[in-house]
Amino acid sequence: MKTRIITPIALAVTLALTGCQSGNDQQETAKAEQVVTANPFFKAWDTPFGMPAFDKIKVEHYLPALEKGIADLKAEIEVVKNNPEAPTFENTIEAMEKSGDLLDNVTSVFYGLIGSMSTPEMQDISKKISPQLSALGDDINLNAKLFARVKAVYDQKDSLTLNTEQKTLLDKTYRGFVRGGANLNDEQKATLRDLNEQLSKLSIQFGENLLNETNGFELVIDNEAELDGLPAAIIAAASATATERGHEGKWVFTTHRPSFYPFLTYSTNRKLREQLFYAYTHRGDNDNANDNKAIASKMASLRFQRAQVMGYKTHADYVLETNMAKNPENVYGLLDKVWPASLKRAKEEVADMQAFANSQGADYKLEAWDWWYFSEKVKKMKYDLDEEATKPYFELNNTMQGVFYTAEQLWGVKFTKRDDLPKYHPDVTTYEVTDRDGSVIGVYMTDFYVRSSKRGGAWMSSFRKQYKMYGENVQPLIYNVLNYPAPVNGEPVLLTFDQASTLFHEFGHAIQGLLSDGYYRSLTGTSLPRDYVEYPSQVMENWMTEPQVLANFAKHYKTGEVIPMEMVEKIQASGKFNQGFATTEYMAAALLDLKWHTLQTAELQDADKFEAETLQELGLISEIAPRYRSTYFSHIFAGGYSSGYYGYIWSNIFDADTWEVFKEKGIFNQEAATGYRENVLETGGTEDPMEMYKRFRGKEPNPQYLLERRGLVPTSK
């Protein structure tokens, strides 16, 4: 297995960085070598599977390793650029692909942990290194001599004997240079560098502000009567949070989702629901040191300016060119089909809730902070389904076993817990993953519980991707991070139905990373267009509600009783309940994203006014807030989803279409499972996604299944 060691180039760079010149005495050379060996990133990790040596990595190791990784990559690129031989696929495209190993190793760990183990020191490092990484990308993309070599290979691609993956790598490399500004003149290149650096800094600041805002708010309750309606487990969690925050004997609720959503769902105190809802929806919008309004506006302006420099009408046009949607018009074409139906259904749901509220003596018009509370009441009335009654059947560890059971039934993959493997936090659980034949596939890590050092949401990533470009199959190190409430007083963690679905969803990403079977690192795993990458994760959710799967894991955490079939039928019957709300709040955010990034002006916008006018134009009802408002929309301002948040529903088209196959053939049909694995999971980004999908399905996906699933149009069958 390939692990990073110090190359002659790397050692030379280190000597230079430490002030050692050629001819220095042996003592100085020894000192420089000691600098290398003291940093765990600069030597092979003597760990199982070559996992990061988390116990040895300290905060002070990151910056030297990052800066050295940058220097390494620059030196390696210089070798490619100045190669006296004629450009070939091997000495140019493949040589570039194999450069930057150290930087890849360090950034995988650093950015992986800053998402879940953030500290002020790590944030400072991120601020310092971000401009350097931005400049590094520009140094490569804007290097005329290097691009000339890449273009020379690309221009002869039709006469080269390349396999499919090599063709994909060549095409992506060439397009990456062009989209990175390689064809610009010197003045335009200078402008592009400046824009990229500004955007990099602002993105980091946006994320830091949001983390501070989320951690900074607390709703402190000291009157037990104000806990009315809340389940015992939620009250216990709030008590534990209060103790952690120095409010012994009280209860604290925060804007972290595991605290926020249950409170809005069950609290009978409407005034407190409004207070917590306001705090959640005004993160980054409080005119304080963590305010994100100006940052969002500035980033939208800079992105438009960059698109103009690159020759595109808008930022969305630039981004979507490489997505499956190709352009904003196609995205609007889909969203404009779904939006009217979802909004219509949401209005019907409001009417149902208002009628119910009135019947219960409510003398007020429902507002956004009432939705969760009354929708839960209506669901219970319509389907006799109480979410609190289902939670005992979705104990976290049991649900994880349900995920593993599904993977084993589909692909023969097994997960064996390994307590001896390195981990970065005590909450992490680590598994060795083996294939049907017993061969090791890789390592899977889970990090489930909310903490102040962790950003919100749920995600999958890797400390190392799978690849074969050095002559051996390097196994992936994949992890899932979620934000479930931590165990309280030794009690098990019980999940809501949605939380259990999220576990299956994120595992859908993880299994794609684990089953990846590609040659080049940049093309494997989840290296896919934004509007396709959510497809495998969304498919995975379907298995959770199947009776055969539920019978395997959905067991009462106290009695061991399998979830009653009557309750399963109620869960399935309620599957389309509240889909108007769910689709509308999501769509509002997706359309807000597009509105920001189809701006055709660099003029700075008043973020709140811009957002309000956008939502008014859409006709969004006051009872629904967009899933993300601009000031905490980290997907698009602190992540990689700008102009791409629509991708979840675009991917849903493939998900719904794929599930038709398993519904027709059987949920564990081996022919379908193998076809899906070989053409979707293993292939990653090694080929055009639509071509891979058509190989699996035999045709392009039908959007009708998505609309039917959400109850937005009548079923055709």
Q: Which residues carry out catalysis?
A: 506
The rounded distance, in Å, linking the Cα atoms of 596 and 598 is: 6
Cα separation of the two ends of the chain: 52
Q: Distance between CA atoms of 371 and 377, rounded to whole angstroms?
A: 10
Q: Residue 59's closest CA among 109, 101, 14? A: 109
CA distance 250 to 669: 53
Both tokens of residue 26? Answer: 């042996």
Looking at residue 288, what DSSP letter applies? Answer: S
CA distances from 566 to 538, 547, 569, 589 (A): 25, 11, 5, 36
Of 369, 365, 375, residue with least CA distance to 345 = 375
Distance CA 345, CA 624 (A): 13
d(Cα 591, Cα 335) in Å, to the nearest integer? 8
The residue whose two tokens read 């389940």 is 231
Token code pair at residue 608: 């709140």
Give the pair of three-digit tokens for residue 617.
């134009």
Q: Say which residues have a Cβ less than 8 Å from residue 199's Cβ, sequence separation at least 6.
A: 134, 299, 302, 303, 306
Inter-residue contact 611 to 592 (CB < 8 Å): yes
Residue 155 CA to residue 150 CA, distance in Å, equals 9
Give Cβ neighbours of residue 212 (< 8 Å, ≥ 6 apart): 290
Phi, psi of 359 (to 5 degrees): -65, -20
> d(Cα 179, Cα 166) in Å, to the nearest integer?
20
Can you tell me the distance from the alpha carbon of 58 to that of 527, in angstroms, rounded to the nearest whole number?
29
DSSP for 512-571, please give it. Answer: HHHH---SSGGGSTT-S-TTTTTHHHHHHHHHHTSHHHHHHH-B-TTT-PBPPHHHHHHH
Pairing of strands 440-449, 477-484: parallel
Contact call for residues 45 and 51 (beta carbons, < 8 A): yes
In the structure encoding, which two tokens stand for residue 712, read together?
């937005």
Q: Do 112 and 463 touch, CB atoms closer than 8 A? A: yes
CA separation for the pair 415, 406 (Å, rounded): 11
Q: Which residues share a beta bridge with 445?
A: 430, 479
CA 351 to chain centre: 35
Quote the DSSP letter at residue 640: S
Phi first, then psi, for residue 414 (nearest 5°) are: -120, 145
**What is the CB neighbour count within 10 angstroms for residue 309?**
17
* CB burial of residue 290 (10 Å; 0-12, 13-18, 19+): buried
Q: 414-417 and 477-484 as β-strands: parallel, antiparallel, unpaired?
A: unpaired
Query: The sheet that has 477-484: what strands, in order across it?
Result: 414-417, 429-434, 440-449, 477-484, 459-464
